[in-house]
Amino acid sequence: MSGHEPHGSATARRVVVSISDIHGLHRRGDVIDVPDGDVLVIAGDIELRSARDVADLEAWLSGLPHPHKVVGFGNMDSLSYEAGEGLRIAGAEVVVDRVVEVAGLRLLASPWSPRFYGVWQLRDEAAGAAHWSALLPPDLQLDVLVTHTPPYGHGDLTRGSHVGDKQLLAAVQALHRPPRLWICGHIHESAGEYRVPHPASEQGILLINAAVFNAASKKGFERRAQPRAVLLPEGRVVAQGDPARLAGSGMTVRMSLQVR
C-alpha cells in the first residue's frame, strides 16, 4: 500500500522532538538548541551514572516547555541498567522495552544495541534476533519507535563501516504497519535524517539519528547534529535547532520552532 494510518488513539497533529547521545552536554548552555514541540524524546546516552547525574537531567528537563517528555537509555547509562524502569526521573516517563501512549501516540523505546561497549548489550546476532522478534511482533502497531541503536545500513556509518543492527532492521521491516517515526542515536557521525525502506510504505520510514554530541566536538556538525522536530502524522521534519540562537545566551537552552 502507498501509506499507513496513524495508530495512536488521537488523530490530532503532534510535534515530536528527538535528541540522543547528549553525553552531559545538557550541563552547558552553548551547544544544544531544542525546538519546541508536544513531546520530547531522548533516545539514550545521557550518561546517567549517579544520583547527581539524574538530578542534573531533571533540572534541565524542568526548564523545557514540552508537555510530555520520554526518556530512553543507551549503552552509556550504567545507572539505568542497574535500575531499569525503577529509575525515576521527575517530569519524564521512563520507557524500557514497552509500549506507552504519550499525547495520543503509541511509542516504544528500547535501549539495547549490538555488542560494543557499556551496558544494554546484545551478546550476539542470535540474542539480537530473539530480543527484537519478541519485542516487535509483526502485528504491533506503533506511531513512534525509539531504539538507541540505528538499524543496519541507515544512520549507522562510522569510519566507513555500517555497524547498525541487522536483526532490528529485519524485525521492523516485518511489521505489517511501519511506525510513522523512528528515532535512534548511538553513532554520532551519522546524525541526520534517513528513509528506511518498508514493504508497506512507498516513502519508507522517517529515521532520525538524533545524536547531538558531535555538535560540540566535530567541525561541520554544529548544525547537522542539532535536535529535530517532526510533525506527525505526516512524518515531516518541520524544525531543527540552530546554534546561532545560542550565541551570547546564558540560558541552558533557547526554545524555537522555526519551520523549514
Kindly report, residue by residue over 38-70, the tens digit of the pLDDT. 999 999 999 999 999 999 999 999 999 999 999
Locate cell 552536554: which residue?
25
- Whole-model pTM over 0.75: yes
Per DSSP, the three-state class of 253 is coil
- Report pLDDT digits (tens) over 78-106: 999 989 889 999 999 999 999 999 999 99
| DSSP line for 90-156 | TTSEE-SSEEEEETTEEEEEE--EESSSSSSEE-SHHHHHHHHHHHS-TT---SEEEESSPBTTSS-
pLDDT for 251 beyond 60 = no
CATH topology of domain 14-242: Purple Acid Phosphatase; chain A, domain 2 (3.60.21)
pLDDT for 6 beyond 70 = no
Work out the pLDDT band at 2, boundaries 50, 70, 90: very low
Residues 116, 196: Cα–Cα separation, whole Å: 23
Cα–Cα distances (Å) from 49 to 114, 169, 252, in that order, read 21, 29, 21
Residue 132 CB: number of other CB atoms within 10 A?
A: 23
Kindly state the cell numbers that stand for 26. 545538557
Contact 39, 135 (CB under 8 A): no
Give the model's pLDDT for residue 7.
Answer: 56
- CB burial class (10 A; 0-12, 13-18, 19+) of residue 191? buried
Contacts 24+ apart (CB under 8 A), 161-164: 163/114, 163/116, 163/187, 164/114
Can you name the residues that pair with 211 across neighbouring β-strands? 20
